Amino acid sequence: MTSRLGLLVGGVAVVLALAPIPALVRAQGSTSALTGAVRSQAEGLMEGVVVIATRDGSAVMTSVTTNERGEYAFPRTHLEKGTYRIAIRAAGYVLPEGDRPVQVGNGAPARLDLSLQTATKDQLAHQLTTVEWWNSMPGTAAQKDLLVRTMVNCGFCHDMERVMRSRYTADQFLPVMGRMSTYAADNSSACGVGSARHCDTKTLGRVQVQSAAQVPTDERSKALAAYLASVNLSGGRTTWNFPLTPMPRPKGKATRAIVTVFPIPRQPSVIHDLTVDRQGQVWYGDSGWGYLGKLEPKTGKFREYETPQSWPDPRPGFKRIVGIQDVEADADGRIWAVTGFLGTKSGYFDPRTEKWTTFDMPAPVWAFLPAFHKGQSTTLWSTATTAPAPAPLTAFRLNAALGKVDVTTPVGEPGGRPFCYQVERDPHDNMICAGFYNSNIVVVDAKTGKSRAYPTPTPNAGPRRGRADDDGHFWFGEFLADKAAVFDIATGSIREFPFSAKYMSAYAAAPDHHGGGWASSTGSDRVVRIDRNGTTTEYLMPVYYDARKVVVDPSASRTTVWLPNKNLSQLIRIEPLD
């Protein structure tokens, strides 16, 4: 998964130091550090080419995108003096000589024009995103839905190229599918939750011992294996017998953003979630290892803190150290955290004292936290992990001031499998539940315990993760509908915003400061912005990403969005120029 584009940073330990980054300015004229134009013989000047700069001695990547005139410009605020390697991302094209060096100084802007060459089919296959593979592959809607909707977790660990280059027959795919089903997509460098694997905690690599996986024999698995064998390179095929079709490159507003990728220095890491405090510091949780981390974006410096020794895996026979799943900053600057799946601990880290305060929960709780709105700092909502039908799902509110759970109430979600994927709250501390399986948004009144459910306009949309603003609007991703949505708590209405392609799988969403929202997409490497008028803009990232959360910086004067890139152990910052 670290090979795509030759740009993705894997397990390299680095110490990052960047010059302070002042307020964002337009990348033009004397404010530019590096400019140029991108063209090809096939298209001439090219819009929508992502240009990536990496300074020698640093792993931080900064990218901009060419405009309608084929021009790009890096602002001086984002490139300091030094030698840079320049790469590009544009499906269907390559730099014939590979990455290009350029010297950036403090005087006049450096200039580097780029001439691209049409990619071969094999090169294009290496550039396609998972969504582009899915939409290029032949097959019926039922076959693709079976693959994408039931096996989407494969895309949480690696892209589709690995599957498409395989030479497995249908019979050979079945044991592979059985083995892959034991892996945990949320802890891909640690041990699988609920699997037969264990970890050797004495080795830094978390050596994994895989017991014999069960080979699936059901008809759905056989049908999926047969479909995959019909489109990969089995049967002696040397290439794919269908055209490879990339998504359109960014245009217009989608070209106006600066994206910075900060790799985590300590490896291995699995960065599942992050949050940004009111001072603009980025905090992240490592779900595979026991660390809470902090990035100071102005300096590029990282610091990490170990989780309490009292947070081990509670399950008998499991040796994995439960890492931190979600993190949230409260109004007092404390960083709340919850252990990985099936954990029974919650608590907060105080940056001023660098000490943890932990609380025992009455049952294993789900691993995603609600946001803290203005003035909120003492309570924390969570739910039990699952509830067998027809038993109701139970919600808990931890009151840190009292040191105990002060509200226990059922979540009245209609349907056969009550489950809150995201636990959120409104400004009045009423709990909001994104009911993934039954496709409801449920509001639980904190005072009365009564629930009210609101079905999504698109049936079976799969509400996944989201975030509410201080005005009572809950933004969330509709994972199975390929849409983002916003729920107005006051009116009970839900408005949906479709993405540009099927199977873009909106995972998480968050509100910005202007009445709009942002959403991550699984498998497309695009981040979607929704303006308050409903217009969507899709920004192409410079790297393959798998982001389980979207956070808008509460301290920034201009909209600044952060993503945790789980599989590549990176933090991604998006700064739109509009």
pLDDT in tens, 355-406: 999 888 887 788 789 999 988 889 999 998 766 655 678 999 999 999 999 9
**CB 393 within 8 Å of CB 411:** yes
- pLDDT value, residue 25: 39
- What are the structure tokens assigned to 389, written together? 């039908």
Sorted by sequence, the CB contacts under 8 Å of residue 500 that are 6+ apart come out as 247, 536, 538
Q: Which residue has the tokens 């330990």?
A: 13
**CB 475 within 8 Å of CB 486:** yes
Q: Which residue has the tokens 């400019």?
A: 35
pTM of the complete model: 0.91
In what order do the strands lie in the sheet containing 379-383? 379-383, 393-399, 404-411
- Respond yes or no on whether the N-terminal peptide bond of residue 390 is cis (omega within 30° of 0): yes
Dist CA 297 CA 284 (whole Å) = 13
**CB 161 within 8 Å of CB 128:** yes
- pLDDT value, residue 361: 83
The stretches of 250-377 forming alpha helices (DSSP H) are none
Dist CA 229 CA 172 (whole Å) = 9
Give how far the C-alpha of residue 43 lies from the chain's centroid of Cα atoms, to the nearest Å.
33
Dist CA 21 CA 468 (whole Å) = 29
Name the CA dihedral angle for 545, 551, 554, 560, rounded to a multiple of 10 degrees: 30
Dist CA 263 CA 13 (whole Å) = 9
Query: Among residues 445, 487, 441, 479, which one has the least CA distance to residue 461?
Result: 479
- What are the structure tokens assigned to 41, written together? 């013989």
- Respond yes or no on whether the N-terminal peptide bond of residue 268 is cis (omega within 30° of 0): yes
DSSP 567: T
- pLDDT value, residue 197: 38
**CB 275 within 8 Å of CB 283:** yes
Structural domains of the chain, ranges and CATH numbers in brackets: 4-125 (2.60.40.10), 127-231 (no CATH), 259-576 (2.130.10.10)
Query: Among residues 89, 53, 51, which one has the least CA distance to residue 71?
Result: 51
DSSP 501: S
Sorted by sequence, the CB contacts under 8 Å of residue 556 that are 6+ apart come out as 280
Residues 225-229: contacts with CB within 8 Å, 24+ apart?
Answer: 225/170, 225/171, 225/173, 225/174, 225/177, 226/170, 227/139, 227/143, 227/146, 227/147, 228/147, 228/163, 228/168, 228/170, 228/173, 229/168, 229/169, 229/170, 229/172, 229/173
Sorted by sequence, the CB contacts under 8 Å of residue 367 that are 6+ apart come out as 325, 326, 338, 339, 340, 341, 343
Sorted by sequence, the CB contacts under 8 Å of residue 294 that are 6+ apart come out as 281, 282, 283, 284, 302, 303, 304, 305, 351
> How far are the Cα atoms of 338, 387, 391, 479, 526 from residue 398, in angstroms, in the given order?
12, 20, 22, 29, 36
Sign of the CA dihedral 328, 329, 331, 334? positive
- pLDDT value, residue 322: 62
**Mean pLDDT, 10 residues at a time, the chain of 578 residues:** 37 32 42 97 98 97 98 97 98 96 95 98 97 96 89 73 96 89 60 38 38 80 96 96 97 98 92 95 89 95 86 53 83 88 79 93 83 90 73 88 92 90 95 96 95 97 96 96 97 98 96 96 96 97 96 96 94 97
- pLDDT value, residue 183: 67
- pLDDT value, residue 552: 98
SS3 27: coil
Dist CA 251 CA 255 (whole Å) = 6
Q: Is 390 buried (19+), middle (13-18) or exposed (0-12) by CB count in 10 A?
A: exposed
